[in-house]
Amino acid sequence: MKLIAAILAASSLVLAAAEPPPTLAIGSQAPAFALPGTDGKTHRLTDFAAARVLVVIFTCNHCPDANAAAPRMAALDARYRDKGVAFVAISGNHPAAIRPDELGYSPYDDSFDDMKPFAAENGWQFPYLYDGDKQDVTTAYGAQATPHVFVFDETRTLRYTGRMDDNRRKFGPAGKSYLADAIDALLNGAKVNPETTRPFGCSTKWIWKRDSVAKDQEKWESLPVTLETLDAKTAAILRQNTTAKLRVINLWSTTCGPCVSEFPELVETSRRFQNRPVEVVTISLDPIESKPAVLEFLKSRHAALPAPTAKSLKKESRTSNHYIYQGNPDHLAEAIDPDWQGALPLTVVVAPGGELVWRTNDEVDPFTLRSHIVKWLRQSHAANPDF
């Protein structure tokens, strides 16, 4: 046992001391790869031997900069596909190395399963490959952020590395595209200038960052869980939503199977969007005398308040986002959703000012819920870049 403990302790030190690898130097040859793609095939460097220019972009599903760059990647691929330019996207992030609060800009996580719909949504016609488990290829290229671009000439010599453009997380066409300039230079037999820029985006999620994720989880599970009593008047105030936040309101009960099943996803959604103007409110319809049991249920699901949410609640003179309703259910329906017929669960998503964004009277599909949240956040950001 002592030997095992010593090995684990040594492993923890190694993980804590790990550093990102250096970025591949200009003039280097393209490191070989053989990686699974979202099309079900294994793709190799040699598959692109006929291309005059090879563009390798390390990216991911969750990062706001990568999300904004994804449509521009599709546009550049369409622009250069018939000119002998091949594009390849690689996700090198390890899914277990990402904290929940890093996922608040996309409905997707960085699993291989989520890569296929992400590529389809963005209209990608080029391979999207997965290197998250071993990260050997990501290490060989020294990809620092998402997205991180590598452009190779016909001999597969690196001629440009860095960022695509200066748009960062802004959606839409780029005014200045370093990637397009590099491709044009190589197609015209000219020297690429500049040869390097700094990539900008979310850091690569190296497997050794799992320690940080574990500590974040431990901290989360140590937070207090609260439950307050709710009346119809306060419920109506919640539904009117006079804040600047998007409010997800869930009606549930501990005796409702779908309610219990979906609850961990609601907690995950709360954690995921904790740094965005989003909050999740739950209202139990259990009998008021069951309040202790409801609180125990919430504790068992670690349904704590994220620190940013707790801070925002103080401005509203509130202490919790978990309630148990005491009163006539008809009055609750009138306050939250007059179309509600009484079946549980019920989830409504309410924009500032009380506008209904989305509702479901079924068990929540987490991807659908988060898609509606992300859509609203992106629209709000487009209208107000400082949002």
**Nearest to residue 183, comparing CAs of 23, 32, 54?**
54
Express each pLDDT in 270-301 by its tens digit. 999 999 999 999 999 999 999 999 999 999 99
- Give the pLDDT of residue 10: 32
- Give the pLDDT of residue 8: 33
Express each pLDDT in 42-57 by its tens digit. 999 999 999 999 999 9
Express each pLDDT in 208-260 by its tens digit. 999 999 999 999 999 999 999 999 999 999 999 999 999 999 999 999 999 99
Express each pLDDT in 165-179 by its tens digit. 999 999 999 889 999
Instruction: Look at residue 256 and give its three-state secondary structure.
Output: coil
How many angstroms separate the CA atoms of 63 and 58, rounded?
A: 12
| Confidence tier at 206 by pLDDT (50, 70, 90) | very high
Global pTM value? 0.91
* Domains recognised in the chain with CATH numbers: 19-205 (3.40.30.10), 223-383 (3.40.30.10)
| Contacts (Cβ under 8 Å, ≥6 apart) of 378 | 171
How many angstroms separate the CA atoms of 205 and 202, rounded?
A: 8
Reading the block at residue 292, the tokens are: 């202790």
Contact at 8 Å (CB) between 351 and 387?
no
Out of 13-17, 94-98, 382-386, least confident range: 13-17
| Confidence tier at 130 by pLDDT (50, 70, 90) | very high
Express each pLDDT in 132-164 by its tens digit. 999 999 999 999 999 999 999 999 999 999 999
Residue 11 pLDDT > 60: no
Mean pLDDT, residues 306-335 taken together: 96
| Confidence tier at 381 by pLDDT (50, 70, 90) | low
- Give the pLDDT of residue 380: 87
Packed helices 232-240 and 329-336: angle between N→C axes, nearest 10 degrees: 10
- Give the pLDDT of residue 382: 59
